[in-house]
Amino acid sequence: MQNTTILITGGTGSWGQALVQRLLELDPKEIRIFSRNESLQVEMNQAFHHNPKLTFIIGDIRDKYEIMQATHQVDYVFHLAALKHVPVCEQQPDSAMKTNVLGTQHVIQAAIKHDVQKVIYVSTDKATHPSSTYGMTKALGEKLVVHANLRESKTQFVCVRSGNVLGSTGSVIPIFKQRIEDGLDISLTDSRMTRFFLTIDDAITLLLKATKESIGGEVYVTKMPACSIKDLAEVLIEDLSMGAIQINETGIRPGESLNEALISKFESVHSINLDEHYYVILPPF
């Protein structure tokens, strides 16, 4: 990564900020933060003390021209931009398609046009057996990224499949903590629900491992523990609450599944147990 130019789409989120912190340690020439949110870009620029290696670009991956411009003379692309909240994607599936599928195709085309060395696409365990619009669009994104390796180009494309990052923007822990601190009851859709969790450090380590070791077409998957959301809520209440906090079950939301999977039955045929921390799903080709 030394003396390279790196583009991060959706770079102002929790993943993006943690990734930038790690990448700066590798002494790149330039890191381009590409996102739609002007306010978050200003805040992030201030948080990194206006580091001269960071370039902030207002843009949307739905706009092919904008992502084409941002990718000029780039060596690596970390594609983090997505609509990721399940209820939002269920209510607006057209927007989810435009961002998560069409936007990903724009990133692929831009990378090929500008001879990017490698594109790393961040996916989700919800793409394994998709029950939601979000999961379906991310599964399609994975298919596009893996298939892009069959094109005649110098660019290598690889996926990483993540679970829920602890404490990331919009995740359950910050929401639960805020309600407990405010003395409010916690809402839970279904007490049987479980999710895979990993830390932000583990998530970024996964990204960098895939960047370093992949040759194109793989899906890297971190081995993650599954946790009951109800157990998580009870632990937070016990640790943080100064009074009585109830857990109210509201019923499962459209598109939600009770449990996620890391690798599908079909994918297991093409998967290898890389080491104690990772699986790799090899491409069918």
The mean-pLDDT minimum among 59-73, 170-184, 218-232 falls in 170-184
What six digits make up the tokens of 83? 């609509």
The predicted model gives 225-253 an average pLDDT of 90
What is the domain extent for residue 130?
A: 5-165+198-222+261-281
Question: What's the pLDDT at 93?
Answer: 97
What six digits make up the tokens of 98? 């435009």
Distance between CA atoms of residues 112 and 254, nearest Å: 37
Q: Pairing between strand 247-249 and 219-222?
A: unpaired
The mean-pLDDT minimum among 27-31, 155-159, 229-233 falls in 229-233
Each residue of 133-185: pLDDT tens digit? 999 999 999 999 999 999 999 999 999 999 988 877 767 888 898 899 899 99
Question: What's the pLDDT at 117?
Answer: 98
Task: For residue 23, tell me if it sits in a domain.
Answer: yes
Give catalytic residues, as residue numbers.
126
Task: For residue 112, tell me if it sits in a domain.
Answer: yes
Please say if the pLDDT value at position 243 is more than 90.
no
Task: For residue 115, tell me if it sits in a domain.
Answer: yes
Task: For residue 107, tell me if it sits in a domain.
Answer: yes
Each residue of 34-50: pLDDT tens digit? 999 999 999 999 999 99
Distance between CA atoms of residues 171 and 110, nearest Å: 31
DSSP letter for 168, please.
-
Cβ-proximal residues to 260 (8 Å cutoff; 6+ apart), any chain: 125, 126, 128, 129, 163, 194, 195, 196, 226
CA 162 centroid distance within chain:
7
What strands, in cross-sheet order, belong to the sheet with 54-58?
A: 54-58, 30-35, 5-9, 76-79, 118-124, 156-162, 219-222, 278-281, 271-273
The rounded mean pLDDT for the chain is 94
Task: For residue 178, tell me if it sits in a domain.
Answer: no
Smallest CA-to-CA distance from 48 within 19, 26, 7 is with 19
The CATH number of residue 216's host domain is 3.40.50.720
Task: For residue 186, tell me if it sits in a domain.
Answer: no
How many distinct structural domains can be found in the chain?
1
- The separation between the first and the last C-alpha atoms of the chain, rounded to the nearest angstrom, is 28
Task: For residue 173, tell me if it sits in a domain.
Answer: no
- Looking up tokens 């999977």 gives 261
- Looking up tokens 């961040």 gives 122
Task: For residue 38, tell me if it sits in a domain.
Answer: yes
Backbone angles phi, psi at 82, to 5 degrees: -170, 155
| Percent of the chain scoring above 70 in pLDDT | 99
Distance between CA atoms of residues 61 and 77, nearest Å: 13
DSSP letter for 274, please.
-
Q: Which helix (H) or strand (E) holds 198?
A: strand 194-198
